[in-house]
Amino acid sequence: MGSSSISGENAAQIATLVDALAVCHASGTEVILVSSGAIATGMPLLRLDDRPDDLATQQAAAAVGQNALVVRYQDSLDRYGILAGQVLLTAGDLEHEKPRSNAKRAMDRLLGLRVLPIVNENDTVATHEIRFGDNDRLASLVAELVQADCLVLLSDVDALYTRPPLEPGAERIENIPFGDSLTGVTIGSVGTGVGTGGALTKVAAARHATQAGAGVLLTSTGNAARALRGEHVGTWFEPAPLH
């Protein structure tokens, strides 16, 4: 879940997302939510008009915003009697065997207890030198860690297009075979201003997750319920074939 989809004027979309996740959860599906939004949520609480450039203010905004963000998720999940569990990770946690193993064990246990893990980067202690860079990458690494069957990347864009969707002639790409080089496709790299991602980071994350065996669906937050019902929305990245 990208920052721009659940912060500012779009904060109400948390309820829409939770509605879709609750249906999956009720069916017995194991669901992990990787959610951006700590800094974006903290900005208005600290009366910041723009995303801060300095690390200390980013960390402060994340500390305030992460608390508020999880409360908003839990308030919405309470409608379905679902308990959330917060999991904050740094890039180093998934690069070293012991913390990586600890993170997997914790998430496996949370799922076994029917708790919905909400994962985010630990922006309060992360540094410029050691970060995931964007939560698309974090989501792909979590999908690999837990051996997920499917990764759904949600943002404010409903699919991958042959060129940036606002440009004339842009066409939605419905299916991308594993290993497709996307020759002839122009992929934008610009985020929204409140987040750090863009189509380029989502394609990179999709490639990583499909290599690890997870199918990847890229679509918009508004399509979350349809996507999780298996409807043909967004762009589907086929996983690596089973050997």
pLDDT digits (tens, 9 = 90+) for 29-75: 999 999 988 888 999 999 999 988 888 898 899 999 999 999 999 99
Q: Of 160-164, 227-231, 237-241, which has the strongest mean pLDDT?
A: 237-241
> Which residue, chain included where needed, has tokens 């009720």?
26
Counting beta carbons within 10 angstroms of the beta carbon of residue 214, is it exposed (0 to 12), middle (13 to 18) or buried (19 or more)? buried
> In this structure, what is the dihedral angle of CA atoms 22, 102, 155, 195, given to the nearest 10 degrees?
130
Question: For the chain, what is the mean pLDDT?
Answer: 88
Question: 69 with 35: CB under 8 angstroms?
Answer: yes
pLDDT value at 190 more than 90: no
pLDDT of residue 127: 59
Lowest mean pLDDT across 39-43, 95-99, 127-131: 127-131
**Alpha-carbon dihedral angle through residues 144, 146, 148, 154, given to the nearest 10 degrees:** -70
24 vs 29: CA distance, rounded Å: 6
Residues near 24 by beta carbon (within 8 Å), at least 6 away in sequence: 31, 228
Specify the pLDDT at position 243.
Answer: 61
CB atoms under 10 Å from CB of 181, counted, come to: 7
What pLDDT shows up at residue 194?
44
Backbone φ, ψ for residue 15 (5° rounding)? -65, -40
| Domain 3-237: assigned CATH number | 3.40.1160.10
pLDDT (0 to 100) of residue 130: 41
At 215 the three-state DSSP class reads strand
User: d(Cα 57, Cα 189) in Å, to the nearest integer?
Assistant: 25
Structure confidence at residue 195 (pLDDT): 45
Taking residues 96-113, what's their average pLDDT?
95
Most confident of 15-29, 53-67, 156-170, 189-203: 15-29
Type of residue numbered 41: T
Residue 76 scores a pLDDT above 90: yes
* CA angle (240, 241, 243) in 5-degree steps: 120
In this structure, the chain runs to a length of 243
Q: What is the mean pLDDT of residues 80-97?
A: 90
pLDDT at position 185: 86
